[in-house]
Structure 1
Amino acid sequence: MATMACDHHSLIFTYGTLKRGFPNHPLMEDLIRSRDAVPLGPRVTRLPHPLVLGPFGIPFLVNLPGRGHRVRGELFSVSPRGLSRVDELEGIGRGHYERLPIEVEGDGGPAEAEAYFAHASFGEGLWRRRGEVGLSEYTRECAGEYVKRSERPKGWSFVESVREFVSSSPD
């Protein structure tokens, strides 16, 4: 598969709030300005994956290949410095998301990339909580449910909120 980036850069598939025009895209814009990211255009996952909304309208890709839909998103080539900033936003060190391999396709051909998946400790539970029905794309309508970090309750715990959401009854 084509890598489409310098050896020291990582290919990152974004499917939610990091996409162009969505709430966390300003981080990607900053990385593009500082030459720590290069947008490579739209892509779709080669295999279906569950894409669901969790508490506060937060989008999660769940590592259950073959279930859900082929997910549409955007591909970026990201420097190690830029990757550390995205990892921080995605809570890699705090058990929020895991950066894992994913295969994507698009006009640039197939690529082996990485994406931010729901942490394994709650990912499958999110899928079940959503009735094993996922999205093929995080849309503007989905983003309408998103609550920015600054507007979430003070003192809330991301992981505790997700676990509470998973254990609650569906809407």
Structure 2
Amino acid sequence: MAGLTCLGFYRTVQAYPLVIGGRWFSLVMLPEPGTGHRVTGELYEADDAALTRLDLIESVHLPTGYHRERIKVVSLDGGLPVNAWVYFKDRARVECTHSAYLTAYDDDRYIHRSKRPAA
């Protein structure tokens, strides 16, 4: 996606519950710090236009969508914690879960938006 630059792999400073959820086997991080594991993933620098597109993809404009918050993450290469945007979904809005708490996302059951049937 235009406007994104990968900064490398980072890990959350606090533990969060990360699960595979919903009928599309999507990644869901729950806004419950101190529960689950420290989560590892790629961190991207995003310009304003890219953030706007990501917000649309994550359905932040819908009551059932994700919401964006800042949390602290640290590079796997070391260094001081930095602030990063993450997308959370409230537990009550996750229709079902298909995994225990994860440390990273790796699930081939995910159904990409382009392959989903029309609602």
Bigger RCO (CA 8 Å, 6+ sep) = 2
Between the aligned residues of both structures, percent identity stands at: 32
Aligned twin of 2:10: 43
Amino acid at match of 1:117: F
Aligned twin of 1:137: 104
- State the 1:152 CA deviation: 2.0
Aligned pairs (5 A) from 1:96-107: 96-106=65-75, 107=77
Q: TM-score, normalised by structure 2?
A: 0.85
Amino acid at match of 1:136: T
- State the 1:114 CA deviation: 1.2
User: Where does structure 1 lack aligned partners over 5 or more consecutive residues?
Assistant: 1-29, 156-171
Amino acid at match of 1:53: I
Q: CA RMSD in A?
A: 2.2
Aligned twin of 1:146: 110
Distance 2:49 2:99 in 1: 36
Q: Is the 8 A contact 2:20 2:98 kept in 1?
A: no
Q: Looking at secondary structure, tell me which structure has more helix per residue.
A: 1
Matched, 1:62 2:30: yes
Indicate the structure (1 or 2) with the bigger Cα radius of gyration: 1
Large movers: runs of 4+ above 4 Å: 129-132
Distance 1:91 1:44 in 2: 24
Distance 1:138 1:100 in 2: 19
- State the 1:125 CA deviation: 6.2
CA shift digits 1:51-109 (9 cap, x unpaired) = 01112111100000000111001111111111111111111112310001111011353
- Do the aligned partners of residues 57 and 131 (structure 1) sit closer, same or farther apart at CA in structure 2, a change above 3 Å counting? closer
Q: Looking at secondary structure, tell me which structure has more strand per residue.
A: 2
Matched, 1:79 2:47: yes
Amino acid at match of 1:91: S
